Amino acid sequence: MNFSSRTAQLLHEDHQATIQVVEALEQVIARAKRLAPDVQDSAVHRALDLAANAIEHEIKTHFTFEETELFTRLEEAGDVGIGQHLRSEHEAILPLGLRVAALAKSALAEGFSDANWPEFKSTSAELIERMYSHIQKEEMALLPMLDDLLDAETDMELAESYSNTL
């Protein structure tokens, strides 16, 4: 998908990167099933490393930017609903993501155990489901709205500001 505003395009690119993280987690869960995977396996190690780093920094930064810079502008333009809905999803997703990141870091350091694998698996599965749904909503509703909402100057300022946080 291509968007006319640079801000929407940057957020779209972030969504694509997040989908790669989510897909990697999904593959780890699918391949391992009930048994804890070996964190020395290159695909497992890569997925855990991606999750630990991307969730803590990129997703949190992405959510904060949307909430402080975009949802407020939409609300000022009279569209309160989308920001409220997406903000509530952020509030549900971020703690899940941070827990997955913490579990991934722990697994990278110590491996999975019979105790922490089920929690990682279930928390990741919930995060995966929520992230797919959330990204789809943003791609179909929020990002097209930005193309209409942002003038060229504001778009450049926001895009530059967002790029500087990454």
pLDDT beyond 80 at 118: yes
Burial of residue 59 (CB within 10 Å: 0-12, 13-18, 19+) is buried
pLDDT in tens, 93-102: 999 999 999 9
CA gyration radius, the chain: 17
On whether residue 30 sits in a domain, the answer given is yes
State which residues form the domain around 88.
6-165
Domain count, the chain: 1
On whether residue 27 sits in a domain, the answer given is yes
| pLDDT over 70, % of the chain | 100
pLDDT tier for residue 33 given thresholds of 50, 70 and 90 = confident
How does DSSP assign 47-82, residue by residue? HHHHHHHIIIIIIHHHHHHIIIIIHHHHHHTT--HH
On whether residue 37 sits in a domain, the answer given is yes
> So what's the pLDDT on residue 19?
95
Assign residue 142 the CATH number of its domain: 1.20.120.520
On whether residue 1 sits in a domain, the answer given is no
